[in-house]
């Protein structure tokens, strides 16, 4: 499938192909604006690293403490998505396979069915462009079983998730995050974005208990210790699911709003691969295919006989996975992409191996990695450190690469219908709607804004602004950066 090219993307791509000569320098006006912003109340006591470069020349046109090591939050995803596109290519597809390991006699499989995970982040997801829901994937596998003459299974339904190694989440992720959907474990056999909805019943008034009603889908064996309360009407989702991968006893704390008959929060599957096996076994039984054994995980690698392949399900193209990763800032996809990249650099497909591979890619791209410390690939860890200069250098490198259009199109723009969170509102109703592509990052006390802006001069600028340890309202910090981006867009 050809990459979708926005009007802005086509203009930028054309400009880059022509390698336009440098126009007038941005000038002292921007520098004065930066100094004034740094001394303003929102940023006065914060750490602010800033770097802007002209893509055509690679020259710095504006900066402030560009080498400072700062926590990047989700802007870190720019690293892993660049590495994935550069090493795998936008057309790359991940593959999940269904095998059997026995023989078929009179419609009965005397042996096991095995789902072999291939590291596809998007299997069973409807969030990604072109994605198909879990039951649609299962229906394909059911049809493939029928074509093999298999009407019942005298064996187990096993899940092979051994492509990835080590722990499914980084050890530096906060306990408050583990168990929630945005900290879902990266599993070589993932399904439905590795999340579930927990439906609660808020009380009539604030302070009342909020009983748990059900999970969607059902998670076999998952139990809750429920301390969830009802919050004021209109207070939104302030509920947390505390759990760790592999645990089926989760603790619920926080509040959900009064005034709702039911309210759902999202959690992370304890064991995605085991869930996939259990869910498919349940689907088969509901479809009239008897499975006599149990759902289980493979303990050791299997030898696969291609003559016993039942079905193969390929993912959507990598460019669409990267698009969702950046536009929606999807942590799970970023973590899985790092593990997919790792073997290309002779690293294990693990948290550490993925981080080392991404760092090696950055070095090959000409980025000074002395300022780069990676604890994860999505930016959720506060142990990550990068400089604004390192991010901008990568952006300049990618602007000159064959993968630039896919990379550029994966970034959000003002009022982006595919965008997510506060960044959708930045620059709406201004010239930035037509000239800005951006990846944001946010944690408590952290804001990052990185990407490309096309100046009125015709020059494409790569920028990286990272703020740490601010105490102002986030909206004030965002306004400072929106004003600065407008000034860059209007520069000659």
User: Phi first, then psi: what are they for 103, rounded to 5°?
Assistant: -135, 155
- 303 and 323 housed in the same domain: no
Does an H or E element contain 99, and which? strand 95-100
Instruction: Region of 387 please: left (phi>0), alpha (psi -120 to 50) or beta.
Output: beta
SS3 at position 168: coil
pLDDT score for 279: 98
Beta bridge partners of 465: 50, 449
Q: For residue 238, give both structure tokens.
A: 């302030």
Beta bridge partners of 452: 437, 462
Establish if 128 belongs to a structural domain. Answer: yes
pLDDT score for 3: 38
User: Phi first, then psi: what are they for 97, rounded to 5°?
Assistant: -125, 145
User: What sections of 287-414 are H helices per DSSP?
Assistant: 318-327, 331-341, 351-364, 388-399, 404-409
- 237 and 330 housed in the same domain: no
pLDDT score for 28: 57
Establish if 422 belongs to a structural domain. Answer: yes
How far, in Å, CA of 325 to CA of 335, rounded? 10
Domain boundary among 314, 348, 377: 314
pLDDT score for 19: 38
How far, in Å, CA of 423 to CA of 332, rounded? 20
Asked whether the predicted pLDDT for residue 10 surpasses 60, the reply is no
Asked whether the predicted pLDDT for residue 72 surpasses 80, the reply is yes
Establish if 264 belongs to a structural domain. Answer: yes
Asked whether the predicted pLDDT for residue 428 surpasses 60, the reply is yes
Q: Report, as an integer, the average pLDDT of 350-366.
A: 98
The closest of 354, 330, 314, 309 to 266, measured between CA atoms, is 330
pLDDT score for 424: 87
Q: Report, as an integer, the average pLDDT of 49-60.
A: 96
How far, in Å, CA of 471 to CA of 42, rounded? 7
- 353 and 234 housed in the same domain: no
Which DSSP letter does residue 408 get?
H
Domain boundary among 284, 314, 344: 314
- Band (pLDDT 50/70/90 cuts) for residue 492 is confident
Asked whether the predicted pLDDT for residue 302 surpasses 70, the reply is yes
84-122 burial, b if ≥16 CB within 10 A, otherwise e?
bbbbbebeebbebbbbbbbebeeebbebbbbbbbbbbbb
Sign of CA dihedral 151, 155, 161, 167: positive
In tens, the pLDDT along 241-252 reads 999 999 999 999
Q: Report, as an integer, the average pLDDT of 465-475.
A: 96
pLDDT score for 6: 44
Establish if 244 belongs to a structural domain. Answer: yes
The closest of 390, 341, 430 to 75, measured between CA atoms, is 390
Greater confidence (32 vs 403) lies with 403
- 261 and 280 housed in the same domain: no
How far, in Å, CA of 265 to CA of 198, rounded? 5
- 233 and 292 housed in the same domain: no
The closest of 88, 2, 163, 17 to 322, measured between CA atoms, is 88
Place of tokens 């019942």: 152
Q: What is the pTM of this model?
A: 0.93
- 334 and 444 housed in the same domain: yes
The total domain count for the chain is 3
- Band (pLDDT 50/70/90 cuts) for residue 22 is very low
Greater confidence (26 vs 383) lies with 383
Asked whether the predicted pLDDT for residue 447 surpasses 70, the reply is yes
CATH number of the CATH domain containing 374 = 3.40.710.10
- 240 and 102 housed in the same domain: no
- 246 and 286 housed in the same domain: no
The closest of 219, 215, 334 to 272, measured between CA atoms, is 219
Establish if 212 belongs to a structural domain. Answer: yes
Question: Percent of the chain having pLDDT more than 70?
Answer: 94
Would you say how long the chain is, in residues?
Answer: 492
Other beta carbons within 10 Å of 338: 30
Establish if 240 belongs to a structural domain. Answer: yes
- 343 and 245 housed in the same domain: no
Establish if 180 belongs to a structural domain. Answer: no
DSSP 24-88: S---HHHHHHHHHHHTSTTTTTSEEEEEEEETTT--EEEEESTT--B--GGGGHHHHHHHHHHHH
- Band (pLDDT 50/70/90 cuts) for residue 26 is low
- Band (pLDDT 50/70/90 cuts) for residue 64 is very high
Q: Are 153 and 146 in contact (CB under 8 A)?
A: no
How far, in Å, CA of 28 to CA of 36, rounded? 12
Asked whether the predicted pLDDT for residue 39 surpasses 80, the reply is yes
- 75 and 129 housed in the same domain: no
- 326 and 464 housed in the same domain: yes
- Band (pLDDT 50/70/90 cuts) for residue 29 is confident
User: Phi first, then psi: what are they for 204, rounded to 5°?
Assistant: -75, -25
Establish if 170 belongs to a structural domain. Answer: no
Asked whether the predicted pLDDT for residue 25 surpasses 80, the reply is no
Q: Are 445 and 357 in contact (CB under 8 A)?
A: no
- 236 and 331 housed in the same domain: no
Place of tokens 């696969």: 304
The residue range of the domain holding 220 is: 188-268
CATH number of the CATH domain containing 161 = 3.50.80.20
Q: Report, as an integer, the average pLDDT of 267-287.
A: 98
pLDDT score for 421: 84
Question: Percent of the chain having pLDDT more than 90?
Answer: 91
In tens, the pLDDT along 184-218 reads 999 999 999 999 999 999 999 999 999 999 999 99
Q: Report, as an integer, the average pLDDT of 37-56.
A: 96
Which DSSP letter does residue 110 get?
E
pLDDT score for 141: 98
Q: For residue 470, give both structure tokens.
A: 């601010």
Q: Report, as an integer, the average pLDDT of 108-133.
A: 97
Distances (CA, A) of 232 to 222, 228, 253, 261: 28, 13, 15, 14
Asked whether the predicted pLDDT for residue 422 surpasses 90, the reply is no
Domain boundary among 314, 338, 369: 314
């Amino acid at each position: 499938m050809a990459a979708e090219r926005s009007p802005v993307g086509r203009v930028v791509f054309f400009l880059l192909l022509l390698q336009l000569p440098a126009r007038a320098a941005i000038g002292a006006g921007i520098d004065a604006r930066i100094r004034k912003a740094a001394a303003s109340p929102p940023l006065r006591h914060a750490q602010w690293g800033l770097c802007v470069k002209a893509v055509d020349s690679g020259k710095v046109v504006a900066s402030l403490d560009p080498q400072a090591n700062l926590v990047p939050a989700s802007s870190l995803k720019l690293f892993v998505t660049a590495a994935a596109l550069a090493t795998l290519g936008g057309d790359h597809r991940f593959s999940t396979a269904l095998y059997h390991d026995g023989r078929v006699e009179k419609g009965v499989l005397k042996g096991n069915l095995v789902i072999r995970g291939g590291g596809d982040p998007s299997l069973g997801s409807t969030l990604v462009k072109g994605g198909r829901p879990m039951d649609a994937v299962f229906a394909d596998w059911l049809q493939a079983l029928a074509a093999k003459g298999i009407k019942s299974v005298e064996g187990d339904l096993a899940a092979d998730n051994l492509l990835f190694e080590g722990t499914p989440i980084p050890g530096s992720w906060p306990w408050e995050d583990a168990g929630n959907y945005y900290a879902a474990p990266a599993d070589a056999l993932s399904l439905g974005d590795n999340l579930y909805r927990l439906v609660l019943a808020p009380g009539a008034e604030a302070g009342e208990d909020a009983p748990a009603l059900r999970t969607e889908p059902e998670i076999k064996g998952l139990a809750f210790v429920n301390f969830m309360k009802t919050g004021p009407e209109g207070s939104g989702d302030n509920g947390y699911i505390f759990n760790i991968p592999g645990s089926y006893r989760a603790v619920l704390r926080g509040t959900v709003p009064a005034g709702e008959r039911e309210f759902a929060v999202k959690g992370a599957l304890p064991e995605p691969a085991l869930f996939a096996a259990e869910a498919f076994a349940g689907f088969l039984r509901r479809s009239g295919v008897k499975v006599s054994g149990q759902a289980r995980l493979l303990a050791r690698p299997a030898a696969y006989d291609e003559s016993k392949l039942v079905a193969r399900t390929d993912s959507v193209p990598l460019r669409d996975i990267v698009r969702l990763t950046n536009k929606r800032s999807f942590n799970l996809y970023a973590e899985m992409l790092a593990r997919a990249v790792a073997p290309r650099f002779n690293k294990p497909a693990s948290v550490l191996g993925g981080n080392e591979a991404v760092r090696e890619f950055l070095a090959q791209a000409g980025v000074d990695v002395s300022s780069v410390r990676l604890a994860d690939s999505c930016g959720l860890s506060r142990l990550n450190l990068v400089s604004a200069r390192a991010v901008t250098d990568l952006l300049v490198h990618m602007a000159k690469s064959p993968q630039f259009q896919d990379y550029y199109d994966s970034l959000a723009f003002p009022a982006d219908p595919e965008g997510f969170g506060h960044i959708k509102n930045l620059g709406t109703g201004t010239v930035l709607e037509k000239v800005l592509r951006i990846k944001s990052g946010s944690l408590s006390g952290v804001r990052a804004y990185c990407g490309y802006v096309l100046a009125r001069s015709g020059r494409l600028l790569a920028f990286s602004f990272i703020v740490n340890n601010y105490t102002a309202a986030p909206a004030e910090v965002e306004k400072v950066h929106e004003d600065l981006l407008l000034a860059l867009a209007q520069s000659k």
